[in-house]
Amino acid sequence: MSDLVGAKTIHDPVHGSIRVDGLFLDLLDRHEMQRLRGVKQLGAANLVFPGANHTRFEHCLGAYHLAGGMAEAIGLSEDDSLAVRTAGLLHDICHAPYSHTLESIMEEVTGQDHMELARNLIMGNIKTFPDRDADLFDGQETMAEIIREAGVDPVQVCDLIAYPETTSRESLDFVPGKDDHFPSKDYIHQIIHGPVDCDQMDYLLRDAHYTGVVLGQFDIDRILSKLRVVNDRICIDKGAAPATEGLMVSRSLMYSSVYFHPTVRILNRMITKAVLASGLDLGEMYLWNDSDLAHSLYGCGGVSSKLMRLVNNRLFYHQVVLVSNDETTEELAQFLAKHESLEGRRLLESQISEKAGIDESEVCVEMPPESNFKSTLKIGKTDVSIVNSEGKIRSLTKTSPIAKALQARNSFGWSLVVGCPAEHRDAVIKATSKVLGI
C-alpha cells in the first residue's frame, strides 16, 4: 500500500492498483472490516486448492473497485457513485467464519442472513465487536455516522446491500417505444445484485486467480467498456456479447470445478458438523473470524474438537458415494430435495450411520441447493441483457447457443456426496444404498 496525496494506492494482484481515499480509507480501517482479513473467501477450500488463502477483505476491496468502474461506465452521479462504492466495500461485512460454509447456521441462529446483519451492523443496531475488544472500540461512532458525515445516506447503502432481488420486470427483452416505463434507478442496485455485478465479477476472477483454475478467467475490461443503461437496467452492448459468454462460462465452470468440488463440500460439512455438535452460543458468530471459531471448537473437546483437528490437519473424510446427475432418477431427486435443509441432512446422516454401525459424526452428507433439484435456478444470475444499436434488448440466451446451453447445464455435476473415514467405506456404501434405495 503506497501513499498518494490524500489517498492510498493498494496493489491488488487481480485488478492492479486500486485507489482508496476519504470515506473509503476510514471504512477500511474499521474493526468490522479488519475482521474480514481472518475470514477466507473460500472457507476450507485451500486444503484442496493450496493457493486459495485469499480473504473476504480482499474480495470486498475488489468489489469496491469494480463498483466504481461500473458507476463510471454508466455515468452515475457523484452521490450515487459514492453510495454504490460504499455498498460494494461493505457488502460482505457480516459473512460468517469460513464464509458460506456456516451461512445457514448463522441465519438459523440470528434469524437474519449476512446482508440483513450487515444493515444492522452498519447502523449500530447490533454489537460490532466481541467483548474482549471493549477496551479498544467501546464508545466508537457507528459506521453509519461515518458514512453520513461523508455526505452519503447510510440507509441507501444498506438498501443496496440487503435486498438481493432487483425491481425490474421478469422479462429480459425490451422494445423501444413499446415497453418504456418510468425509471426507478434500479440500475444502481444492479451494480451490487444483478446479472453482471461487481460482487460476481470480482469473486470469479479472484477465486480463479488464487485457485489456479484458469477456467474462471474472462475479459472484464471489455464488459466494463460496453455497459449501458436502457429502460432502468444495466445491459451490455452487442459488441461485448462474446466477453459476456465468457463470463457465463466462467461462472458455470467455477461452480463445478471449485465451489461444488466434492472434497471441498465434504470439508465444509465436517466444519458444519463440528459447529452443530459444539453447544457454543453462536449468536455473535458474525463477529468471529476463522481462527476464533477453530479455537472455540478445540476448546469444546469431544466431537467438535476432533472434527476441527481432522480438518486443519487435512485428515478429511473420504468420498465414498457420489451420485452423478445421470444416475439421479426423478424419484431420488424428489427425495433429496426434501432433505436439503440442515435438519434434513442430519437425518440422512443419522440413518446412514445407524445402519453402518458407526457414530453419526463419522458420516457427512452433502448435496446441491434444493433449487437444483427443482430446476428453478434464478434467471437473474444465468442470463444477461444485450442491447443492439437500435436500443432493442434481447436476453443473451435467445441469441447465443453457448449461453442457452450454459443456462441448461447443471453446474454441480452431482446430486449427492457421502464422506466418511476410509475404514468405514464399505459399511457406509451399503448403508447409503439401503437408506436411499439405490
Residues of the chain with pLDDT > 90, as a percent, come to 74
Phi and psi, residue 229, nearest 5°: -110, 120
pLDDT value of residue 57: 98
pLDDT value of residue 165: 56
Q: Would you give the distance in Å from CA 429 to the centre of its chain?
A: 32
Q: If you count them, how many residues does the chain have? A: 438
pLDDT value of residue 312: 95
pLDDT value of residue 306: 98
Q: Would you give the distance in Å from CA 16 to the centre of its chain?
A: 23
For 28-79, write each residue's pLDDT tens digit: 999 999 999 999 999 999 999 999 999 999 999 999 999 999 999 999 999 9
Which cell numbers hold the place of 210? 488464487
- Interval 369-398 mean pLDDT: 68
CB atoms within 10 A of CB 264: 23
pLDDT value of residue 366: 94
- Paired with 174 in beta bridges are 393
Instruction: Using alpha carbons only, give the angle 391, 83, 114 rounded to the nearest 5 degrees.
Output: 105
DSSP category for residue 344: H
Q: Would you give the distance in Å from CA 34 to the centre of its chain?
A: 19
- Paired with 7 in beta bridges are 4, 21
pLDDT value of residue 404: 84
Q: Report how far apart, in Å, the C-alpha atoms of 417 and of each of 100, 135, 196, 258, 380 are.
A: 18, 46, 31, 15, 28
Buried b (16+ CB within 10 A) or exposed e, 229-255: bbbbbbbbbbebbebbbbbbbbbbbbb
Strand order in the sheet with 7-12: 2-4, 7-12, 16-21
Residues 14, 205: contact at Cβ < 8 Å?
yes
- Is beta strand 393-395 parallel, antiparallel or unpaired with respect to 385-387? antiparallel
Measure CA of the first residue to CA of the last residue in the chain; give whole Å.
56
Position with higher pLDDT, 149 vs 231: 149
pLDDT value of residue 169: 41
pLDDT value of residue 376: 36
Across 115-124, 186-195, 213-222, which has the greatest mean pLDDT? 115-124
Rounded to the nearest 10°, the torsion over CA 259, 302, 95, 264 is -10
CB atoms within 10 A of CB 280: 18
For 273-327, write each residue's pLDDT tens digit: 999 999 999 999 999 999 999 999 999 999 999 999 999 999 999 999 999 988 9
- Interval 126-135 mean pLDDT: 96
Q: How confident is the model at residue 370 (pLDDT cuts 50, 70, 90)?
A: low
pLDDT value of residue 381: 53
Q: How confident is the model at residue 164 (pLDDT cuts 50, 70, 90)?
A: low
Q: All domains of the chain, ordered by start, with CATH?
A: 2-172+184-260 (1.10.3210.10)
171 pLDDT higher than 90: no
120 pLDDT higher than 60: yes
- Interval 381-385 mean pLDDT: 72
Phi and psi, residue 358, nearest 5°: -130, 170
The beta-carbon contacts of 3-12 under 8 Å, at least 24 apart in sequence, are: 10/61, 12/58, 12/61, 12/62, 12/65
- Write the DSSP string, 68-86: HHHHHHTT--HHHHHHHHH
pLDDT value of residue 246: 93
How many alpha carbons fall within 13 Å on the CB side of residue 145? 7
Residues 379, 171: contact at Cβ < 8 Å?
no
Q: Three-state DSSP class for 392?
A: coil
For 9-22, write each residue's pLDDT tens digit: 999 999 999 999 99
H or E element in which residue 345 lies: helix 342-356
Nearest to 167 by CA among 215, 109, 232: 232
Q: How confident is the model at residue 369 (pLDDT cuts 50, 70, 90)?
A: confident
pLDDT value of residue 172: 47
Q: Would you give the distance in Å from CA 235 to the centre of its chain?
A: 23
H or E element in which residue 323 lies: strand 318-324
- Paired with 386 in beta bridges are 236, 394
Residues of the chain with pLDDT > 70, as a percent, come to 91
Average pLDDT across the chain, whole number: 90
379 pLDDT higher than 60: no
pLDDT value of residue 184: 60
Rg, Å, the chain Cα set? 23
Continuous H helices in 150-261? 154-162, 186-190, 198-211, 220-225, 241-254
Which cell numbers hold the place of 130? 466481541
176 pLDDT higher than 80: no
